[in-house]
Structure 1
């Protein structure tokens, strides 16, 4: 936890680092960007990625019919636990650079420096041994909604994830915004993650059936988030990724001490407005080109900066930005568990 404490204490130094390099090409451009963070979601249990059960009917439709939708088939988690994953995904620190975590600027800090109002809506615990570093990052947002009022080492929730839609509708809106939504998603206990009307699947055992039901419910939740977000004036993009997965087919959750590669098989997908695509044709086409390229989610930070066009070195790294034609997609460079394991790409399926 010492690194995390140092991160919290180093706020002023990071602000100075941003100000010294401040140079935004679209500093006055309006736009609302939404980042949705899933939890414990395994793409091998999503029908949009070829799973036999229809667990993602809405995403299936988007994939087949929506030209503004991009599905990425080779995304992997940089760790198997939420805190290690998101402290990299949401800051300039990643497995491929030498930045110290305490000096790693967060995506919230970057967006604010670029003139964006920031909001954080979470259905995860605010005060927990697991989530403290995430809370530090979130605490920089001007608006915060914490739906889960439990405290400590618990996965209990007061509400199902669809409650975040109310939060999205109730926050004060600005012409320039970054909105982060952190779901409880598919975290065990799986049967606690969805209302009874989503208990559709049976016949593959209690755990897998409940997990698949939670995937079905997540599909519904994200559809409602997108419906609400895409109606906002100046909506530009919604980006979704999961922190890590659960290795449900192996009878495992996501404990790195029992590591297996399916713990890294995350989903990632994005939506863009027609206006964004028209104004940022190169960015959209680069992302489209990279749909089957390998990606680890500690590169979300650079990719969001690319999407929002907040680019300046040394904080922004073009070779780690999925929106760039200079993205380094060499498969053998990608790692997980903070560099301890080399990613083993899973063969493309029906996606």
Structure 2
């Protein structure tokens, strides 16, 4: 009996200790979570209500059992609630992230595939033990224990409930648990059907027959390297003071076949909508103001195949899910090679083990056969490095800071947001340096081919590492859409397609604003494919990147108030005639300043005069205004571009 009482005391002491830690965590959240951060905590708590309700119900039952001296039952019940809390998010998220594309790809499920699927579950369904998650779990515990004793006090103050106290508590616990299970099922089912419906709508909108197309020029093999989450903001190739792209910078300085474009914008800040638009053509340009999922489109792959061009996709990304719709929709008619079989993982494919970009692409490219003397090819390489967590997606030898620029005690204020750590910026810059290595290896491969070959490189979107917003479209910042873009002609391609080479050299020097909405037209142009529009079969063929163009809006997304967009035209665009939608111009101040500088409404020299308070704001001013140097207040002219463009 003494042992039992001692065990109960130990359990109570541990519970008190956890509640104390929860109070400390809550205090920290309240102290650090001023303004928007506090709202974010509240929204997280609400969005994860099913996770908490089950845990609260299990905690109630555990405390009731503890008061009756049933320690083992109390501990087991508490551990069940703890397991629910730890695994609820990955399990429910995984179920919800699957869509009809996952199941359509996962036909004929055999034993070997089942073993693979179970192996990937070890990476996909695992608890989150980061400090922020632990603080949230402690907050759950505080809320559960405090609400239990508050309710106990209230019930005991009512004489008619004293004799039924345990029954009322047990019934309430059951309601919490049942409610949590129902919420989980409804939320997961709702998300599943929403993802399935989204996939079916997009698939239908992209199932349009392309017009006639022919390969009009001599054979050329085109390689399209798709980067991930890489912003010009953090690339020394585009003036970033840290040496994050030494290899690309060397090629740019020494090899005239390397054609660098500035002022290129992605069409969105998320992979799927960005690539769905970048790799397709519109049937009707007036739909440009609708979210890409609502537009009627034609895949660039289908146009290339119409011209009898071989099309391959070599992808280190996922195969299905809302984040990978380009893979399952744009490339459904291409020859596809994926690094991992992620058909059953949906949006959880990022948890599956995958090879490093450079090694995977090198191995796949070595196996390609370009012996056909008449048939051109376009090979798409979809990379993964750049995804957060940044260091986890690059080889270990690259997981070191680029330099000590921010940590050396130079006095430079890195970011306007005090909660942004040097480690997070260092991690992103290390990822960019690895990306530089991987892309440079692909340049070396293209350079070494005997046949004419051209490499096109761009990133699907950027990341805003200095603000900690990643690429969240609801918190858009300018650098989320400012992406690198270059074209590399190998020797035979420059010789045999000399006019095309000179054309793009001239277009790059123009420094016109461009967007990835022009990418598909550029791919056709480089591949020598001509489209024959007719009255009955036609598509909207935009000017190639660098040509004069009236650009469609970017970051078009449906929100509660209507359809939001960011304007890239120097003048205000007339609202489209869709009566059922309210269109909202959400162009941010920085992009507006960029348009004013490019349009001559603000002199670049005046725009670049302002002194800034942080490295982040000074660097952003550089990419917006094309400034050669800027001053940080109190530090003089310490932020200089790393070399001028040719």
**TM range, smaller chain:** 0.7 to 0.9
Cα deviation per residue 1:194-236 (whole Å; 9 max; x = unaligned)?
Answer: 1121133165411110100000100111111222233234232
**Alpha-carbon contact 1:4-1:102 (below 8 Å) kept:** no
Match of 1:228 among 420, 445, 455: 445
Matching of residue 189 in structure 1 with residue 397 in structure 2: no
Match of 2:423 among 206, 209, 216: 206
Tell me what 2:337 maps to: 145
Provide closer, same or farther for how the CA distance between residues 167 and 70 of structure 1 changes in structure 2, counting only shifts above 3 A: same
Trace 1:265-276 onto structure 2 (pairs within 5 A).
265-276=482-493
**Alpha-carbon contact 1:108-1:141 (below 8 Å) kept:** yes
Paired positions, count: 339
Tell me what 1:277 maps to: 494
Normalised to the residue count of structure 1, the TM-score between the two structures is 0.87
Deviation at 1:243, TM superposition (A): 0.4
Matching of residue 340 in structure 1 with residue 533 in structure 2: no
Q: Could you say what secondary structure the match of 1:22 adopts?
A: strand
Cα distance in structure 1, aligned partners of 2:261 and 2:285:
21
Q: Which segment is superposed worse, 109-118 or 50-59?
A: 109-118
Cα deviation per residue 1:3-29 (whole Å; 9 max; x = unaligned)?
Answer: 642453477741xx43xx334423xx3
Larger Rg: 2
Normalised to the residue count of structure 2, the TM-score between the two structures is 0.49
Match of 2:263 among 66, 74, 83: 74
Matching of residue 135 in structure 1 with residue 328 in structure 2: yes
Cα distance in structure 2, aligned partners of 1:22 and 1:263:
34
Provide closer, same or farther for how the CA distance between residues 171 and 135 of structure 1 changes in structure 2, counting only shifts above 3 A: farther
**Alpha-carbon contact 2:264-2:483 (below 8 Å) kept:** yes
Q: Which segment is superposed worse, 180-189 or 146-155?
A: 146-155
Match of 1:114 among 301, 307, 310: 307
Tell me what 2:354 maps to: 158
Cα distance in structure 2, aligned partners of 1:296 and 1:94:
18
Cα distance in structure 1, aligned partners of 2:489 and 2:439:
15
Cα distance in structure 2, aligned partners of 1:95 and 1:286:
28
Cα distance in structure 2, aligned partners of 1:298 and 1:3:
21
**Alpha-carbon contact 2:321-2:346 (below 8 Å) kept:** yes
Tell me what 1:171 maps to: 368
Match of 2:316 among 112, 119, 123: 123
Tell me what 2:416 maps to: none
**Alpha-carbon contact 1:3-1:102 (below 8 Å) kept:** no
Deviation at 1:74, TM superposition (A): 0.6
Match of 1:8 among 178, 203, 206: 203
Provide closer, same or farther for how the CA distance between residues 183 and 61 of structure 1 changes in structure 2, counting only shifts above 3 A: same
Deviation at 1:37, TM superposition (A): 0.4
Provide closer, same or farther for how the CA distance between residues 48 and 216 of structure 1 changes in structure 2, counting only shifts above 3 A: same
**Alpha-carbon contact 1:245-1:254 (below 8 Å) kept:** yes
Cα distance in structure 1, aligned partners of 2:310 and 2:532:
22
Aligned-residue RMSD, C-alpha: 2.6
Cα distance in structure 2, aligned partners of 1:32 and 1:304:
11
Q: Which has the higher helix share?
A: 2
Matching of residue 290 in structure 1 with residue 482 in structure 2: no
Larger RCO (CA within 8 A; separation ≥ 6): 1
Cα distance in structure 2, aligned partners of 1:97 and 1:252:
31
Matching of residue 244 in structure 1 with residue 464 in structure 2: no
Cα distance in structure 1, aligned partners of 2:207 and 2:517:
23
Q: Could you say what secondary structure the match of 1:311 adopts?
A: strand
Provide closer, same or farther for how the CA distance between residues 289 and 317 of structure 1 changes in structure 2, counting only shifts above 3 A: farther
Cα distance in structure 2, aligned partners of 1:103 and 1:267:
28
